Amino acid sequence: MTTTPPRVLTIAGSDSGGGAGIQADLKTMLALGVHGMSVIAAVTAQNSLGVQGYWELPPEAVRAQLDSVLGDIGAQAIKTGMLASPVLVETVAEVLAGVSVPVVVDPVGVSKHGDSLLEPAAVTTVKSLLLPTATVVTPNLWEVEQLTGVKVEDEDDLPRAAEAVLALGPRWALIKGGHLPGEPVDLLTDGTSEHRFRAERHDNRHTHGTGCTLASAIASCLALGEDVPEAVLRAKEYVTGAIERGFPLGSGIGPVDHAWRWRSR
């Protein structure tokens, strides 16, 4: 008998180069054994060199996609990525406030190349409306500073950063410390329990899509029934392998390899 796999919905921007955004999310979901679905909030013109431009979809188009998927198919977990503007953040947050499944929020502020993907005015909306809907929020160090004003300079600063992020309303905060010097370490906490995830640093510049991939992997693992710490652990293992096998593409920064487990067989 055919069994329907768990369903995971990503709400994010499209990456025409295929390394991040909706494309990375769906590849990750397939690799981890769930059925990926998408709500496209924005379209980017993007390649290995950077983001040449982006165009938001009208809020009614985003809402219609959400209503269409959730009204018929449903989801066991939801992940958000690039939402671009205050009105799109508001539109998505309104829907997420009414769901009962885990929500993973990747508070996308800039691309891997440093290109802005979130209007400055939308930061307040992310803080006040989107983060309170999150089961897990996954900011990098730049996004922590953007959201809270806390600047993380070493591993000792991670708990203070997590406390500031949790004050904005998510149940769990995963502070990604990959840009710190030395061995990469991420801190996951709900304010009571604390988990640190360490990984080998791979000498590979082809890391486009790591944030999208990690958040989608966490959402996929939550849909498969894992609790938050175990979902993050499994997601980290998947992303670490994908980073190690990231490959060159075009003239700039290539993507992580979402199919690394298949290619390594």
**For 32-68, how does the pLDDT look when each residue is reduced to its tens digit (9 = 90+)?**
999 999 999 999 999 999 999 999 999 999 999 999 9
pLDDT at 11 over 80: yes
CA-nearest of 216, 224, 68 to 136 is 216
Residue 115 — pLDDT band, cuts 50, 70, 90?
A: low
Mean pLDDT of the chain: 94
First to last CA, the chain: 27
pLDDT at 213 over 70: yes
Residue 113 — pLDDT band, cuts 50, 70, 90?
A: low
Q: Active-site positions? A: 176, 207, 209-212
How far apart are the C-alpha atoms of 84 and 119, rounded to whole Å? Answer: 6
Which pLDDT value is given to residue 169?
Answer: 98
- β-sheet bridge partners, residue 137: 105, 173
Mean pLDDT, residues 125-152? 95
Residue 77 — pLDDT band, cuts 50, 70, 90?
A: very high
pLDDT at 232 over 80: yes
* Amino acid identity at 138: T
% of the chain exceeding 90 in pLDDT: 86
Write out pLDDT tens, residues 153-204.
999 999 999 999 999 999 999 999 887 887 889 999 999 999 999 988 888 8
CA-nearest of 174, 153, 171 to 232 is 174
DSSP 122-150: HHHHIIIIIGGG-SEE--BHHHHHHHH-P
Which pLDDT value is given to residue 202?
Answer: 85
Mean pLDDT, residues 242-263? 95
Which pLDDT value is given to residue 211?
Answer: 95
| Beta-strand pair 136-137/50-56 | unpaired
pLDDT at 80 over 90: yes
Which pLDDT value is given to residue 112?
Answer: 66
Residue 230 — pLDDT band, cuts 50, 70, 90?
A: very high
Residue 134 — pLDDT band, cuts 50, 70, 90?
A: very high
Residue 70 — pLDDT band, cuts 50, 70, 90?
A: very high
Q: How many CA atoms lie within 13 A of 215 on its CB side?
A: 34
Residue 13 — pLDDT band, cuts 50, 70, 90?
A: very high
Mean pLDDT, residues 208-227? 97
